[in-house]
Structure 1
């Protein structure tokens, strides 16, 4: 009898586990929920309405067109250049605004006397092409979350516009629309606490599988990065094949070392490994706000909150502003930063007991209108706040792509920071919507790229 009861309990437990796994694998939103997109919700799932006091306006479609007479050689001109700050948050008046400032930015205000947050009027500029928005609505009822991976995307770039958990929100960020392809040359800078820095210039080609001449099963994108400077890295090339469902397939990566003149596999281009040219101030999955397989953390959707975040910071990328004028000690020149009040999804990742990472916890703040990580707080395994990410977003209006004007990671332990993605002094305009050839983004092509 005892054995029979025990078998029944085990059978019931197994059934419950299978039911839970099934629910996780096939949890989608309903047709009625999807119908809200473009109605009371924006096409990507943000709230269409503004906030109660009007400091966050209602969504009106975003910034879809460049200024009259604009050309790419001018860089991205600031459509709000005549605006002045409404107020500026400093350490002295932090208490007045503390409930709308991330713990990381509070730490920066407390640590550095030069750090401040000029707050400007809010503009909800983020938007994507109508065809991309239509695909999001169409496929929202079909996409599945399978463990830590996703399936049944069918071309959508926001798989979970009405997220039920933190992992779904993370996938919205990782898969968000970036124009289908991108070619750019940009500059990055490790800046020591003393203010000393050097320039790392990179030529990047990022092509999503939909823009390749030959598609690959379970492929999200193909990525190559060729170092132009400094001399110690010039000619080094990285290649990444990024899968969609990272349960089925892990990231594949290769590197060409110009000194050795050989191509080798690079399994360390993932998770918490340190990349060349960063001085250890950023780990691999910090890139682009956050990227890669999310399986080393348990992700909790804390909720939505109104916060002052870096937004519409066209001034930071102004062609008239030189790199040396941006790179001040401890923090980029605060007069070139712009913060606005926006609603963000707060997602908290806690390191899994069976996983390893230099971060024990990380909190990401995702823009409700684009699913872009606008700020990040990373804690070490002892629970101490360690790195603070500040990621200004702009609307690249010619391509209808909301993306980063720059990425900044502050290291609170040593007063240094790493600023990536500037193009102020680069001559070649960034190109969105670029196409790719399969043969050009294979390991055999790395030697050609490095020359």
Structure 2
């Protein structure tokens, strides 16, 4: 399966698209031989959804029951379809941790604009020298026919997103006893296309992050211009401290610097599972495999689920989680000789239908498994993209964890297709963001 993209390239180019065996995003269209992975039939459509009062989709599979549950007692039976991090968590919490596994649904649709850009990129997109940027790329999905691990990671970085959206969400970092303080923020992201009054060379997207609670951090904000080639042009970022009433450049929001508000449990380049420059690692594609991954996690976004029910000692409450068996691309990143990062090896599992990293394991300087991260995603019909109900990082050394992107207790978490301008993502806008 390692050479899957190469084997289909000739056929796809001859057909003027991605070929009859692939979806418009580059995934395998057909069902698996054993039938456990169904054929892709276009994903869910808007008629199949109803929205909750806060705008999150209600679970279209609410009537389903788990096919089975994976626990510490039976994990060996499924070990070929589990990540090392999942196995480690089951062993760490044998009495309370479990993975409820449901029928597999390929629910993610592909917007027509994404299909067109993916086909165009298949013919035109290439890596710049060193692999740290792209040439001939536009839209989404740089390499729908990937030939190596770095191209798969670039597909994650360029995966389909709504052109411009706002997310109101919460994050928590529970103590070992399960107690936590809720932190709230607003995030805005826009691709270059909908941003007015700008010619965006080497810009992947614009991003703002502003804290809204608790009061001690409310008003703190950051603006980021995410560049395609961050080696040639590092990401541009500015921060505003409401306490100091000062805007300043933030040149170190990258690589293994500590992510703000994460209690040191997540690095800057681990937000969104992986972001930023890939230059410090060698990337190896191991091919595809079947894996139990969090998927169709509508219950985790439901306003009926309170954080006090979800956040428990050691890990998330397993009851509302949903795992399915899916085909994923398996990529290993190994730190280059002489390069610096607290993670010497990173193992990523990338969903074939969305190109999103759903599971990631990272290793310390001694080669020991340190942290494991999962993105619990679902397809949002309004934005026509897959979004995360939450992202959770478990630290196996400290037995603590960090959860970001929680939306259950937000009144209106998702707003898509915002009208934006470059001035909104400028350093000067930070002061207005930071008004308490």
State the TM-score, normalizing by the size of structure 2. 0.94
Residue correspondence of structure 1 range 207-356 to structure 2 within 5 A:
207-213=190-196, 214-356=198-340
Q: Give how far 1:353 is off.
A: 1.0
**What's the RMSD between the two structures over aligned residues?**
1.7
2:11 aligned partner = 32
CA-to-aligned-CA distance 1:267-296 (integer Å, 9 cap, x gap): 221111112211011111110111111111
1:125 aligned partner = 107
Q: Which residue of 105, 119, 122 maps to 2:86?
A: 105
1:369 aligns with 2:350: no
1:62 aligned partner = 43
Q: Which residue of 439, 442, 445 maps to 2:423?
A: 439
Q: Give how far 1:434 is off.
A: 2.0
Cα distance in 2 for partners of 1:413, 1:112 equals 14
Residue correspondence of structure 1 range 46-61 to structure 2 within 5 A:
46-61=27-42
Cα distance in 1 for partners of 2:61, 2:412 equals 24
Q: Which residue of 372, 378, 393 maps to 1:394?
A: 378
Q: Which residue of 88, 98, 118 maps to 2:69?
A: 88
SS of alignment partner, residue 159 of structure 1? coil
8 Å CA contact retained: 1:184, 1:204: yes
SS of alignment partner, residue 136 of structure 1? helix
1:196 aligns with 2:145: no
Is the alpha carbon distance of 1:69 and 1:270 closer, same or farther for their aligned partners in structure 2, counting shifts above 3 Å? Answer: closer
8 Å CA contact retained: 1:186, 1:201: yes
Is the alpha carbon distance of 1:356 and 1:69 closer, same or farther for their aligned partners in structure 2, counting shifts above 3 Å? Answer: closer
Q: Which residue of 129, 135, 138 maps to 2:120?
A: 138
8 Å CA contact retained: 2:170, 2:406: yes
Cα distance in 1 for partners of 2:387, 2:156 equals 11
Q: Give how far 1:362 is off.
A: 0.5
Cα distance in 2 for partners of 1:32, 1:218 equals 31
CA-to-aligned-CA distance 1:62-112 (integer Å, 9 cap, x gap): 123154654663422100000000000000011111110001000000001
Cα distance in 1 for partners of 2:82, 2:47 equals 31
Q: Which runs of 5+ in 1 are unaligned?
A: 1-26
CA-to-aligned-CA distance 1:170-201 (integer Å, 9 cap, x gap): 00000111111110110011112221211110
Is the alpha carbon distance of 1:66 and 1:153 closer, same or farther for their aligned partners in structure 2, counting shifts above 3 Å? Answer: farther
8 Å CA contact retained: 1:143, 1:150: no
8 Å CA contact retained: 2:191, 2:205: yes
Q: Which residue of 45, 53, 60 maps to 2:26?
A: 45
Question: 1 or 2, which has the higher helix percentage?
Answer: 1
Is the alpha carbon distance of 1:207 and 1:312 closer, same or farther for their aligned partners in structure 2, counting shifts above 3 Å? Answer: same
Cα distance in 1 for partners of 2:146, 2:350 equals 12
8 Å CA contact retained: 2:9, 2:145: no
8 Å CA contact retained: 1:72, 1:429: no
1:166 aligns with 2:149: yes
2:3 aligned partner = none
Aligned residues: 425
Q: Give how far 1:150 is off.
A: 3.0
State the TM-score, normalizing by the size of structure 1. 0.91
Q: Give how far 1:450 is off.
A: 0.5
2:131 aligned partner = 148
SS of alignment partner, residue 346 of structure 1? strand
Is the alpha carbon distance of 1:350 and 1:69 closer, same or farther for their aligned partners in structure 2, counting shifts above 3 Å? Answer: closer
Q: Give how far 1:224 is off.
A: 0.6
Q: Give how far 1:433 is off.
A: 2.2
Cα distance in 1 for partners of 2:98, 2:320 equals 11
Q: Give how far 1:230 is off.
A: 2.0
Q: Give how far 1:32 is off.
A: 3.5
Higher Cα Rg: structure 1 or 2? Answer: 1
